[in-house]
Amino acid sequence: MGDKSNAPVIIKRKKVVGGDGHHGGAWKVAYADFVTAMMAFFLLMWLLNATTEQQRKGIADYFSPTVPVNRVSGGGADMFGGDSIMTDRTLARNGTGQAVGLRVQGQQSAAEAAAEVAALREVEQQLMGVGGESLLEMEALRHVVTRVTDEGLIVEIFARDGAPIFVGNTREPTPVMVELMTHFAPIFGMVTNPIAIDGHLRTQPVVLAENPVWDISSGRADAVRGLLVNAGVEEVRMARITGHADRRPVTTDRFATRNDRVKITLLRWR
């Protein structure tokens, strides 16, 4: 037998990790995050189903900052003498001429443009009932969608399946349209912007020898003008009344009820 007194001593140490039988609690945090995300998702789906298109537009606008754009070019001080090289598109502000009590196209400063946009957005919020209770029933508001564009504040009232805004194929407004205009008129009085009204129709499936779509669309626009004037809007603010017949559908289906609509625009001062 050999001498093993000089053999190395090997010591085995076993590392014991504490914790439960599922390798720690990190999985609980991940699971909680997953449950929270699913709850938020289903809450979002419920809100989208419970709100109108107009209310969703108002929520989106709340998170969309308004960026004012100066529509007047400054020109130069030397070669052009302060005039703009784009005078065919904007008016140069060279200090000559006089305009008392008259807004001239292209004469808005950046501050004036921003103030006007803010005023139009305030009108839009009042129309939608954002920040307070709406004067209109939820069903009536489902006929309305608004948006602020370079042209101005556009208020579009459209027909829905089973819920028209005019009686049949006539110019006679339904009670829903009368109610909307009655409540919109004092809100339009918050500003003095000119008003343009455009009437649109859907395409009829039957071709007529004498199709009255032009007369009907322009007649509906004029009927809305009359409702607004009777409700208190000044006649002098009416800048344009136009009938577009069925030439400008908003859907790919030209026969869709959604194409029966009236567009009211509070035009921006340029």
Q: What is the CATH number of the domain that holds 199?
A: 3.30.1330.60
Same domain flag for 90 and 42: no
Query: Cα-atom radius of gyration of the chain, to the nearest Å?
Result: 32
Decide if pLDDT at 74 tops 50: no
Q: In this predicted model, which residue has the larger pLDDT, 108 or 117?
A: 117
Q: State yes or no: pLDDT of 111 exceeds 50.
A: yes
Domain assignment present for residue 16? The answer is no
Q: What is the pLDDT of residues 31-47, one digit of tens each?
A: 888 889 899 888 888 87
Asked if the structure places residue 162 within a domain, the reply is yes
User: Among positive and negative, which fits the CA dihedral 45, 47, 52, 54?
Assistant: negative
Q: What is the dihedral of CA 11, 17, 23, 29, to 10 degrees?
A: -150
14 pLDDT band, cuts 50/70/90, is low
Cα–Cα nearest to 47, from 66, 65, 60, 30 = 60
Least confident of 28-37, 144-153, 190-199: 28-37
Are 126 and 257 members of one domain?
A: yes
Q: Which residue has the higher pLDDT, 21 or 261?
A: 261
- The answer on 117 and 98 residing in a single domain is no
Do 94 and 193 share a structural domain? no
pTM of the predicted protein model = 0.61
Q: What is the mean pLDDT of residues 164-188?
A: 92
Q: Which domain holds residue 92?
A: 76-106
| Distance, CA of 23 to CA of 14 (rounded, Å) | 17
Asked if 229 and 151 sit in the same domain, the reply is yes
Nearest in space to 177 (alpha carbons), one of 195, 159, 162, 194: 159
81 shares a domain with 46: no
Looking at the structure, tell me whether residues 267 and 137 fall in a common domain: yes
Phi, psi angle pair for 32, to nearest 5°: -65, -40
Residue 220, domain member (yes or no): yes
Q: Does residue 216 sit in the same domain as residue 231?
A: yes
Number of separate domains in the chain: 3
35 and 100 fall within a common domain: no
* Mean pLDDT value of segment 88-97: 42
Q: What is the mean pLDDT of residues 246-258?
A: 92
Is the model more confident about 222 or about 89?
A: 222
Whether residues 80 and 51 share a domain: the answer is no
pLDDT at 241 over 90: yes
Q: Output the pLDDT for position 43.
A: 84
Per-chain mean pLDDT for the chain: 77
Alpha-carbon distance of 168 to 24, in angstroms, equals 70
